[in-house]
Amino acid sequence: MSNFDAIVLGAGAAGLMAAATAGQRGARVLVVDHNDEPGRKILISGGGRCNFTNIGTVPERFVSANPHFAKSALGRYTPADFLALIEKHGIAWHEKTLGQLFCDGSAKQIVAMLMDECLAGHVSFAFGQAVRDVAHGDGRFRVTVGSIVHEAPALVVATGGPSIPKLGATGFAYDLARRFGMKVVEPRPALVPLTLGQGEALFRELSGVSTEVVARAGPAAFREAALFTHRGLSGPAILQASSYWRHGEAVGIDFAPDAPAGWLRAAKRAQPRTTLKRLLPVPERLAVALVEQLGVAGDLGNVPDKALEAAEVRLGDWRFTPNGTEGYAKAEVTVGGISTAELSSRTMEAKKLPGLYAIGEAVDVTGWLGGYNFQWAWASGWAAAQAI
Ligand code: FDA
């Protein structure tokens, strides 16, 4: 038997932040992970350069059954706080686009930084070992790892979501939460490519074509690149929309996001001898496919206004009905998770079971693409550590 003040399950972004912060506040902390090394998702993130935060972080850029839940933690540990840590460790960084901050060098620097911070907090680690059992009684949690039982009054669930199982991702957090009587908002793959069925095979033939669009799903709209793949649709605009997409629903794509209302009729008056294919602000292969589907071939001067109006409407909101996603194997994150209704938004502690905390992606808070998910991991980990 070994005793700690807190046991953190999961040595990912949230778990390492919570452990380092609690350790530096004087708590004796153990981190347990079944992987042999910490932070495997951090290491491959951002194409190996880790998009570690986004300076445009606002609660509206997170998906959750309770859109207010993330406000407290995000407001108390901000991108500027994480940036201060990065600079303290002398890690060079740059802003790429849309407020996304990346390491100049490598994501390895982020893991090394977090491990250094853990060292400064005298954090203990148990890597490469599965959690065999978690029990609770007399206000203490008992975690069996291998043949050793570790005990602490605080247990922090930081095992993330099931996206990318080959990196060691599991739904362990959900099973544990359910065992302790907590609700779990139905998890589903997010920031994930969408697949198209036979009916939309024409578009799958455009594999490799990319164009700037506005992609809409549910209440959300994203203006970024969309990419046609041999299985369906991908690219940042689609990945973003996928977090809001539900089975059976359509995704709307605006292929001419800068075109003003009435642009096709205006073009007909100004250039009656031009064609729709030439006017479309998309790569030629895609323009050919769209024109074929619209049935608006030939000079615009010969196309009735009504047909141009109908084409304009369709081009501004082209409906695709995906038959699914590429699943957890390709999803960058998981939407859903441990219900925020079960947790204090200030401390991440379970309302019904004092001493139990849930942080990071395990919780029903999912950020947009672009550094938001790490910012949530840092902020929720930090918030829990203040209470341990
Ligand atoms: P995380 O998944 O990081 O950590 C969970 C840990 O728990 C893992 O170490 C795992 O091994 C361990 N674990 C799981 N089950 C266990 C069990 N049963 N027993 C013991 N240990 C267990 N986000 C972002 O903001 N910027 C970016 O650039 C990227 N890029 C990116 C690329 C790719 C390819 C992916 C898959 C994801 C991203 N993300 C991202 C998302 C980001 O990686 C993710 O949201 C955070 O890592 C979540 O942090 P957590 O600590 O919650 O979980």
Which pLDDT does position 307 carry in this prediction?
Answer: 96
- Residue written as token pair 């203990």: 124
- Quick check: 146 and 129 in contact, CB under 8 A? yes
In ligand 1, the atom with minimum distance to the C-alpha of 359 is: 52
Task: Please give the average per-residue pLDDT across 282-297, as a whole number.
Answer: 95
pLDDT in tens, 147-204: 999 999 999 999 999 999 999 999 999 999 999 999 999 999 999 999 999 888 778 7
Tell which residue, 2, 376, 319, 305, has the closest CA to residue 161.
376
pLDDT for residue 71: 98
Ligand 1 pocket test target in 16, 21, 41, 242 with most atoms within 8 Å of CB: 41
Which of the four pLDDT bands, split at 50, 70 and 90, describes residue 267?
very high
Average pLDDT over residues 13-30: 98
- Please tell me the distance between residue 122's alpha carbon and the centre of ligand 1 in angstroms: 23
Distance CA 376, CA 67 (A): 13
**Nearest CA, atom 21, ligand 1:** 33
Is the ipTM higher than 0.95? The answer is yes
**Which residue ranges have their beta carbon within 6 Å of ligand 1?**
9-15, 32-35, 40-41, 44-46, 50-51, 130-131, 158-160, 163-164, 168-170, 172, 332-333, 360-362, 371-374, 377
Q: Which two tokens stand for residue 289?
A: 């496919």
For ligand 1, atom 18, name the residue with the nearest CA: 172
pLDDT (0 to 100) of residue 199: 81
- The per-residue pLDDT for 201 is 73
Which ligand 1 atom is the nearest neighbour of the CA of 53?
Answer: 25
- pLDDT band (50, 70, 90) for residue 297: confident
Average pLDDT over residues 71-88: 98
Please, which contacts does 289-298 make with residues 24 or more away whose CB atoms are closer than 8 Å? 289/202, 289/203, 289/205, 289/206, 290/255, 290/315, 290/318, 292/202, 293/202
Which residue is closest in CA terms to ligand 1's atom 43? Answer: 41
Supply 125's token pair: 């680690």
Ligand 1 center–CA 39 separation, angstroms: 7
Q: What is the pLDDT of residues 337-379, one digit of tens each?
A: 999 999 999 999 999 999 999 999 999 999 999 999 999 999 9
- Rounded to the nearest 10 degrees, the angle between the axes of helix 305-316 and helix 284-294 is 130
The tens digit of pLDDT for each residue in 298-343 reads 999 999 999 999 999 999 999 999 999 999 999 999 999 999 999 9
Q: Out of 30, 37, 42, 45, give the residue to mutate to test ligand 1, the one with the largest number of ligand atoms within 8 Å of its CB.
A: 45
> Exposed, middle or buried by CB within 10 Å (0-12, 13-18, 19+), for 331?
buried
Distance in Å, CA 42 to ligand 1 centroid = 7
At 113, the pLDDT band (50, 70, 90 cuts) reads: very high
Which of these, 259, 253, 260, lies nearest to 318 by C-alpha position?
253
User: Quick check: helix, strand or coil at residue 92?
Assistant: coil
Q: Which atom of ligand 1 is nearest to the CA of 362?
A: 52
Mean pLDDT of 235-259: 97
Query: Given this model, what pLDDT does residue 18 score?
Result: 99
Measured from the Cα of 360, ligand 1's closest atom is 52
User: What pLDDT was estimated at residue 200?
Assistant: 83
Ligand 1 center to residue 148 CA distance, Å? Answer: 26
Helix (H, G, I), strand (E, B) or coil at 97: coil
Q: What was the pLDDT predicted at 1?
A: 73
Q: What is the pLDDT of residues 127-150, one digit of tens each?
A: 998 999 999 999 999 999 999 999
Helices 108-120 and 13-24 sit at what angle, rounded to 10 degrees?
Answer: 30
Q: Is residue 94 pLDDT above 80, yes or no?
A: yes
For residue 17, give the ligand 1 atom closest to its CA.
51
CA of 151 from ligand 1 middle (Å) equals 25
Quick one: average pLDDT of 58-73?
A: 98
Dihedral angle computed from the Cα positions of residues 136, 142, 144 and 149, in that order, rounded to the nearest 10 degrees: -150
Higher pLDDT, 205 or 32: 32
- Distance from the CA of 125 to the center of ligand 1, in angstroms? 17
Task: Give the atom of ligand 1 at the shortest distance from the alpha carbon of 102.
Answer: 28
User: Of the candidates 260, 256, 229, 257, which has an alpha carbon nearest to the alpha carbon of residue 242?
Assistant: 229
Contact (CB, 8 A) for 50 and 91 = no
